[in-house]
Structures are given as structure tokens and as C-alpha cells.
């Protein structure tokens, strides 16, 4: 489940193609987390996975979302055109 969740998160972030090394590392850590049995191993791998995912999130391009002001500006530009 963890590897699939990480894969989906990477897809949503859109970082797999731009940062393949870190993306592969995240998937490898997710696999290791699924296979780990000792609590200390789980904690160590989870901490590393969290750090890599945090780095990938910071490298992701933010999705552009329009707000009310953007909609008003677009309508004004359409009227003027």
C-alpha cells in the first residue's frame, strides 16, 4: 500500500520526470518500509521517506489555480478585446 500511495503522490506532484533520482529513492524507501518488520527499522525508513517526500514537494511546480480576482481580470480582458 505504501509504495502505491507514494507513486500516486509523485504523479500528483509531477516530479517524476524532472527529478527521477529522488523519485526512485522515494519508491525504494516505500518498498523498504513495506518490508520492514522491526520497529526501529520502520521508524528510520519512515523518517528518510518523509525527508525525501518533503524535498520533492518543495521541488514541485505549484499548480495554478484561479481565484475570484483572476476570473474578474479574465472577464475584463475579454470585454476589452
pLDDT digits (tens, 9 = 90+) for 25-78: 999 999 999 999 999 999 999 999 999 999 999 998 776 566 677 777 888 888
Residue, of 81 and 78, whose pLDDT is higher:
78
Distance CA 72, CA 49 (A): 42
Which pTM does this prediction carry?
A: 0.73
CA separation for the pair 76, 41 (Å, rounded): 58
Contact status, residue 33 vs residue 2, Cβ threshold 8 Å: yes
**Distance between CA 69 and CA 55 in Å, rounded?**
31
Q: How many Cβ atoms from other residues are within 10 Å of residue 79's Cβ?
A: 7
Amino acid at each position: 500500500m505504501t509504495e502505491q500511495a507514494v507513486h500516486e503522490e509523485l504523479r500528483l506532484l509531477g516530479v517524476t520526470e524532472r527529478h527521477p533520482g529522488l523519485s526512485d529513492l522515494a519508491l525504494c524507501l516505500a518498498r523498504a518500509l513495506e518490508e520492514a518488520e522491526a520497529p526501529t527499522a520502520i521508524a528510520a525508513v519512515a523518517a528518510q521517506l518523509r525527508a525525501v517526500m518533503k524535498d520533492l514537494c518543495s521541488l514541485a511546480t505549484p499548480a495554478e489555480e484561479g481565484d475570484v480576482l483572476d476570473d474578474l481580470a479574465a472577464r475584463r480582458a475579454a470585454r476589452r478585446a
